[in-house]
Structure 1
């Protein structure tokens, strides 16, 4: 008699598990959150979107020393004095903590950098005083595309 009760409970549990997995698999946003990005992938996306860039020294105010930081790089973009700072972390949570630290470090700047959170990566764009809105729009579009794919 006990086996007759146990079988329906196991069957219902297995069915619920399959349904929840199937629902999760169709959610691209869920899968995107699982994907950890790396420096090479982001550099390739920059190239695909038509950006030219050259690595440059990381200014001290943008230098980060936190747990979970895999890499940090600075790039000059398209010779227009704008910069892109890239930080790759071990996880999305560590990226969040790194962003908070960078916001504290840069609070006294006379300009407001643009922050882009993409999974475990953090990008920071500064326009170098040029204030080219069309260029910032390209960076915004790049970040949107990186979140989608």
Structure 2
């Protein structure tokens, strides 16, 4: 089963917020490659929840995809920071999906620790300049991250 990594700024949605909410919509992805990864996700697949753009970035826990991707309603909402004036109900290029919390890690696995792990050398996250907010994680990388807990 494919696994993933998805980034969120904890000020917007943290792993603890997701645990409290139970489930929520993952929206606002505005990169075509990341959007295509969202569209490839299926119900039941797991993802690492990565806190980004914060003082201490890192993997904070695990979430689960609840259903396949659907058109992102935030693209059509003028009040949303993710509004896309070129999108319409008939032609919405953006996707969202519903997720739930599986596990909140006791300790965040920080980016420096992830970068130091040889088994993660090919993970795009650890490469300088990698800004993709959604990415696949292969089985060996998944196990390597879990071993860092």
Which structure carries more relative contact order (alpha carbon 8 Å, separation 6+)? 2
Structure with the greater alpha carbon radius of gyration: 1
TM-score scaled by structure 2? 0.23
Structure (1/2) with the larger strand percentage:
2
TM-score scaled by structure 1? 0.23
